[in-house]
Amino acid sequence: MRALQPSVCSTIVVLTFGALLAASRPQDQVPATPDSTHVPRRVVSFEHANQELTLKCDVGLLAIKPYADNAVHVRFFPTMTKTTLPLWGISAAPSNPKYRVESTLSSIRLVMSQLIVSVDRKTAQLKFLDPKQNILLTSNRFQLKHTRVSGEETYSVHAEFIAPEEEAYYGLGQHQDGWLDQRGRAVRLWHDYEAGGEIVGIPFLITNRKYGFILDNPSRTTVIPGKDGLTNWDSEAGDALSFFVVYGNTADDIYRGYRFLTGITPLPPRSAFGFIQSKQGYRSQDELLQVARTFREKGYPADMLVADGDHWKVAGDLVFNEKDWPDPSGLNADLDRLGFKAMISCWPRFQRESGNFETLNTMGCLVKDRDGKAALSLGQDVRGALIDTTNAECAAWFWDAICKNYVSRGFASWCLDANEPDITSPGLTLHAGTGAGILNLYPLMQTRAVYEGHRRDLKERCFILSRSAYLGAQQYGMSLRSSDTKAQWDAFKRQIASGLNVAASGLGYWSSDIGGSSSPGADSADVESNYPELYVRWFEFGAFCPTFQAHGSRLGSEVWSFGDAIEKIVAKYLRLRYRLLPYIYSLARAVTDTGAPFLRALFMDFPLDPEVRDIKDEYMFGPALLVAPVVEKGKARREVYLPKGPVWYDYWTGKKYAGGQRIPVDAPLDVLPLFARAGSIIPHGNEIPNTRVEQSEVELYVYSGADAQFNLYQDDGTTYEYEKGNFSLAQLRWSETTQKILISGDDRKLFSRPQEKWLRIIR
């Protein structure tokens, strides 16, 4: 692997970040009026100009702006003056869709081809309707109440909407409490590492009533969906109420709108879909290299190894401990020869003892406390102060340090750990605003700093494993990891709903930390004797997540760490993951094209089946595979619900079942209940040691019972040439009538062998 020279690391990012902040920070805010509460109750007048409908109310101002045929932006201001809002996480400019404004004595309507907004003149109530005039969402009350937070005059923001009894709610980020349908619970939208499984707040909600809702507010927010007939949103600080509504006849239509508003998900490198072995942590380059050699000696496929935070002396050094990591460039060269990529952990936290602390403190690049001093972590947290990546100069410094210290030694994949903004309490400030006002923003800006620097300075695709995220983070080459969950059965069980809601929140890539992390006393004989079963079941689930990563703080967390019997089972699913890479990588390209995730709660694909509304332990992995993990200790059998509509095939036995029923499924330790939908094509590749090796032989599994189609996608797997059209696509079509498959496109060479070698029809 050629070591890149430090000279590739430029500082152009200062200009792009500076321009972003200058354009987005509100300069003309209207001060809050003390002791005031602003609630619009009727429309006094309206005007239509500059592609926007503005309604003067008895109190405040409503502004409604079409963004796309199916997306609209609504703002409520406390006075009769509109102010500039940052729109954090919203990257789109309005597309100027065609629309008309209709006015009657009772209402004013903004009519687009896919979405209608109707405002009641007497009450200022808003109704959002689909093209057939069906009501999607109805407002009940908006309120801005003067408050003072961290010395700043601002408003607490409240919005409530009518919640029909049959409505179900999904998304809102990562919440590891086991809920899928969020109806009736208070959901905290702020980052919290100490919540018994990290909370990541993403203010995007999708419902079964064919709309998505984005709250444009990064402050501490609570939403209570569907309680006592209402859905309530409450944010601690804001200059206005700002939100977007997106309509879609299908879930994928909604995600197309979300993609337009918050940004395209770039295609990760192919290696990101192989196996990622991590641990807390590998303490030397010899230990990491020995793990790599063992994978190859045993013939197990794997692609990435993670050098965690143990590679430095002090958090914030961003350099290697030379005693244990004497030759990082040589390490990367050795790993490269073994077919591995090394991912390096880059914390944005700087302890006082770090060699970089005083430099950053002098630059004003550390998050500040209420006295204007660098804010060190609170309580027992010894991770240090956060670098303020909302400051363009500081963000540029962070990437420059990564580039000079890591890129120059051959590293090109990033684990952005410890980047949750827990310490950004109301008493702290960042360059872009107060901790109260932008509490949730931090990981978005940090991820952006790394992605944009990488994209500018390196040719290979950026891949980031991040421990935190915010609205729009999918633009920046990242996959959210579930982060240091407890090594317990209940924690594992709750991971499934957590991942499904992350995907529903618009993040296409997520991984569960397979095996969880040890808690105090977890190395006791009793716990360890029961742990291998948990590890196996977690590994089976992890093999069917968008990204596939093992982590943990045990001395041994690798495939071979728990005895021969466990190793054999785990290796089965490791190899199956690699055989399914043609299917998975093709699904990843679809995420880039459409914004829709391929880790899918059942409501997305079976909206007319009421039984799937709150099934927490089953999901679709792409359009073809239903996955039903075993999540209870000692269980060798579980019940599986097969959604109405299609016929289903047991993936392992080929046995057929009608949909719309619950069936008992045998699930000994080596069996993950897995079903294929009739009318599916699932490409399988030949076994490979890593994703650098081309899967030159592809076998098509066709599950008959209905017409089927699948677009099999391939590219170089490493560069951004795909954006220039340099890829191949084979369009696969199965006709149930003729019982034949048609292949068109520019990748037919994969099927030049006799058909009996690559076609397997399951009937």
**Active site residues per annotation:** 417, 420, 484
Helix (H) or strand (E) holding 170: strand 169-174
For 556-593, b/e burial (b = at least 16 CB within 10 A) is ebbbbbbeeebbebbbbbbbbbbbbbbbbbbbbbbbbe
3-state secondary structure of 507: coil
Element (H, E) at 19: helix 13-24
Nearest to 666 by CA among 676, 655, 677: 655
Helices (H) and strands (E) in the chain, counts: 13, 44
333 close to 410: Cβ distance less than 8 angstroms: yes
Q: Look-up: residue for tokens 């569960």?
A: 512
Q: Which residues does residue 548 pair with via DSSP β-bridges, in sequence order?
A: 275
CA 230 from chain centre, in angstroms, equals 27
Q: Are 430 and 40 in contact (CB under 8 A)?
A: no
Output the DSSP codes for 95-118.
Answer: ----EEEEE-SSEEEEEESS-EEE
Packing angle, helices 442-457 and 13-24, rounded to 10: 140
Task: Indicate the SS3 state at residue 22.
Answer: helix
Q: Which two tokens stand for residue 104?
A: 């009657």
- Cβ partners under 8 Å of residue 264, min gap 6: 475, 592, 595
Picking from 182, 156, 184, the residue whose alpha carbon sits closest to that of residue 169 is 182
How far is 135 from 117, CA to CA, in rounded Å? 10
Backbone phi and psi for residue 53, each to the nearest 5 degrees, phi listed first: -105, 120
SS3 assignment, position 579: helix
Pair of tokens at residue 121: 């003149």
Q: Please tell me the distance from the alpha carbon of residue 87 to that of residue 65, in angstroms, as a whole number.
A: 13
Cα separation, 757 vs 753, in Å, equals 6
Going by their DSSP bridges, the two strands 413-416 and 341-345 should be labelled as parallel
Collapsed DSSP state (helix, strand, coil) of residue 205: strand
Tokens 């809920």 appear where?
Answer: 179
**Is-contact 394 360, C-beta < 8 A?**
yes
**Tokens 């102060």, located at residue:** 385
* All residues at 6 or more sequence positions from 210 whose CB lies less than 8 Å from its CB, including other chains: 130, 136, 247, 248, 249, 254
Alpha carbon 462 to chain centroid, angstroms: 15
Q: State the helix-helix crossing angle for 564-579 and 581-594, rounded to 10 degrees.
A: 50
Question: Any residues with CB less than 8 A from the CB of 138 and at least 6 apart, and which?
Answer: 125, 126, 127, 128, 161, 162
Give the C-alpha separation, 254 to 280, whole Å: 38
DSSP H or E stretch at residue 290: helix 285-298
Count, residues in the chain: 763
Q: What is the DSSP string of 631-662?
A: -STT-SEEEEEEPSSSEEEETTT--EEESSEE
